[in-house]
Structure 1
């Protein structure tokens, strides 16, 4: 079963976007191989829903966070190897011999470059395998008990095979024609399949190295996945992964307290906190590092958000109607008895205050009865929170405070228990002298 989400959620949280400077994906730059890029794409678009599989992946990433090992090879060299091994076919050895003879003849007659290119790719492959053997030996020193141990030791056994050992110990360059043919029979014939598996392992290690580096440099944690339990989400030291020196917060959502109701003034940090939480949930299900001090969670079926819902001019939808349709879509998913994380930021802000109050209260009260799901809901209509407090015993109320420095509002971005009383909109308007500017006669 796959982790459910949609484009709106991914856009709200800015998860994807390889070339976007502020996306979560863009943190994981520096991959060497194209295969690792494809693998990274797959992991980012297919979070996991099996606790054992998630914890297995995090254990591998944690190893590479704790052991700063320089990856063997470079992008140009790995591309040469991919071209060499990837061009291998199922042709007989004498067909390959004829092909080599043809390229050699063309080189001698017309200075054709194909033979030289072939030799360079073969030599690059040998150099990488030699360096890779030493790398795997270093990895194996501290990998006992890790899920990757068996494959690392398999790779070492392969490269320690007598045939490979003789091959890698011969560093004569440039390779002679006869030597090239003998090596080609081994690498792209007899040993092709295990060699492809070995290179696939190095593709994965490329990704593991980058993920480990990001976790180490940013001091991210790895979340503990649970199959079931009272705690749905517990995260300490949560912050946004793309904001430098971000303020951190702790929060917990349980089966019995499954609604986290957040209030606070505009600019107090509600949206950033909600995005930070959503990103942490998503990355935790990928098994990737989380921008927090620690996190444990019960595996969910999916996640949906409503943070930046746009209007739709082509469909004739106003901003409010677009919000309504978004909430309807999520309501349908919630009604199917799934275990979901739902994040609603400023519900129904596209309508008047009275309708927004009634609608937010009605929707939140209905959601409260879905204990299998975890909800984070924010509003600046604090009266909704007070009314929910009277009739809803499974909500946790928290707010982000505004601190007045004279007539200037400042923000701590630190969660406080309860419901805010901050109402500083007119103070900000007065500070900007908007009314005075309108009245001035020029």
Structure 2
């Protein structure tokens, strides 16, 4: 049974649960790995773990499913965001337990024949089975179901208040429809800790029979509510905020206080990307924080296209049609490809997407690092120069080749930013602050000197000379 379809035919809710339509958001496996959404192979906690404190297994699975389906549907995103934000603002608590839902799920999956619907057969079944595990599975599952029904009958009042967002009202109405089904309405009035044999038989006959799909749909709604509460709690504990979506056609992103939620005491940065400057050329020394900034930015774009809160104090964004990143590009040894050739293929994948999709958000970290400096310079200059003519997407490109800036200044839509580093008392200070301009700091030789590599080589040289003379 399906409920709720808006007038524009772009959003469908099935059993009250938001389902994105064909307006999907393009994001490939490489981008998911770059952001460490589910795993990046490093062993560090993935982003999905930020939302792990659900009360139910179904709620956890619901969040994971949501995170695999970003959307470019502004109506869909606003509806989900508003639902989560309502939980956040009202500090709503869903008082359910994993054990309760697990027992109900186990009961519904119980593959023995359901009880008979007449008193005589019910009595025979009760006499035969009352001491067995089958009877316990049925009775405990139904008792927990009745408790859940009673609780939800009160909880739906929160979802149906006048100021509640439309999606929560739709969930409340759908739950109400299930609660008013005859057998379930009667069961809600029972106050016994144990069911009489004929009550159990009739209710089991209905719940594992004609009402089974309705009860499963009800559980999905509970899991969705659990997901909303969990996401709102993460927003509170991690200092996330709710994005504002722009319906304008021109590309634009404005971020205040951007940070990475997995970094303790992360430095926050402000960033504004607009159509007039839709390409950002990012420089900075080693360890200055370029990759972390790119991951933070990518994560904000990604989470905003889930309808989730984002790691920033404020965010306003155009609705993009996809996010492609190249931050941790692996060597493709199985196919015998060099790192440089893997980079070239990745750039081809990204620009080919532009033939199919407008309003893409594309990130290249250390473009063409896998080749010599001369080829890297020429290739980067060529690619960035050509991308400067594409105005309906945003590009964020980092590099160590600061000399490119002199060649790129002739393009009005390229902005130059760098991660600030300076020396104090002979030692580098990393501020992790994003600033306007091009980095002038060079840390490569400093790091080599600090590691004592030259001294080790000289010691090896002396040892070799000594051995040759002996």
Pairwise same-fold verdict (TM > 0.5): yes
Equivalent residue number for residue 236 of structure 1? 256
Query: Aligned runs of 1:95-114 on 2, under 5 Å?
Result: 98=121, 103-107=125-129, 111-114=131-134
Structure 1 SS opposite 2:403: helix
1:10 paired to 2:39: no
Q: Distance in 2 between matches of 1:96 and 1:317?
A: 73
Maintained 8 Å contact 1:58/1:222: yes
2:447 to 415, 428, 431: 428
Which of 63, 74, 80 aligns to 1:57? It is 80
- Give 3-state SS (helix, strand or coil) of 1:413's partner: strand
Mapped to 1, the partners of 2:94 and 2:160 lie a distance apart of: 14
Q: Secondary structure at the match of 1:273?
A: helix
Cα deviation for residue 193 of structure 1 reads 5.1
| Structure-2 residue corresponding to 1:202 | 222
Counterparts of 1:50 and 1:425, CA distance in 2 = 45
Cα 1:307/1:190, change in 2 over 3 Å = closer
User: Match for residue 366 of structure 1?
Assistant: 386
TM-score (norm 2): 0.86
Picking from 283, 304, 308, the partner of 1:284 is 304
1:303 equivalent to 2:323? Answer: yes
In structure 1, C-alpha distance between the alignment counterparts of 2:405 and 2:329, rounded to whole Å: 23
Distance (whole Å) between structure 1 residues aligned to residue 69 and residue 166 of structure 2: 23
Q: Indicate the residue corresponding to 1:408 in structure 2.
A: 427
Among 68, 71, 83, which residue is 1:45 paired with?
A: 68
2:239 to 219, 225, 228: 219
Aligned to 1:327: 347
* 1:260-312 deviations in Å (ceiling 9; x for gaps): 11111010000000011111111111111100011111111111111111212
2:91 aligned with 1:72, yes or no? no
**Residue 362 of structure 2: aligned partner:** 342
Among 396, 401, 424, the residue aligned to 2:415: 396
CA displacement, residues 293-333 of structure 1 (integer Å, 9 cap, x when unaligned)? 11111111111111111212221111111111111211222
Report the 3-state secondary structure (helix = DSSP H, G, I; strand = E; otherwise coil) of the residue aligned with 1:401: strand
Q: Distance in 2 between matches of 1:214 and 1:340?
A: 28
Query: 2:46 is matched with which residue?
Result: 23
Mapped partners of 2:329, 2:40: distance in 1: 22
Q: Which SS does the other structure have where 1:382 is aligned? A: coil
User: Does the CA contact (< 8 Å) of 1:341 and 1:375 recur in 2?
Assistant: yes
TM-score under structure 1 length normalisation: 0.91
What are the residue-to-residue correspondences of 1:145-164 with 2, within 5 Å?
145-156=165-176, 159=179, 164=184
| Contact preservation (8 Å) 2:362, 2:395 | yes
- TM-superposed deviation, 1:157: 6.5
Q: How many correspondences in the alignment?
A: 438
Q: 2 CA distance for matches of 1:236 and 1:327? A: 29
Show CA shifts across 1:121-179 (max 9, x none).
Answer: 11111112222223333444574344312331453465478875653242212212022
Deviates more, 1:304-313 or 1:286-295: 304-313
* d(CA) in 2 for partners of 1:223, 1:142: 23
> Residue 5 of structure 2 aligns with which residue?
none
CA contact (8 A) 2:118 2:202 kept: no
2: distance between equivalents of 1:139 and 1:21?
A: 37
Mapped to 1, the partners of 2:183 and 2:136 lie a distance apart of 25
Spell out, residue by residue over 1:187-229, the C-alpha distance to the aligned partner (whole angstroms, 9 max, x if none). Answer: 4557555444433321210111111111111120111222324
RMSD after superposition: 2.7
Provide the C-alpha distance between the structure 2 equivalents of 1:96 and 1:427, rounded to a whole number of angstroms: 87
Give the one of 83, 107, 112 matched to 1:84: 107
Which sections of structure 2, spanning at least 5 residues, go unmatched?
1-22, 464-470
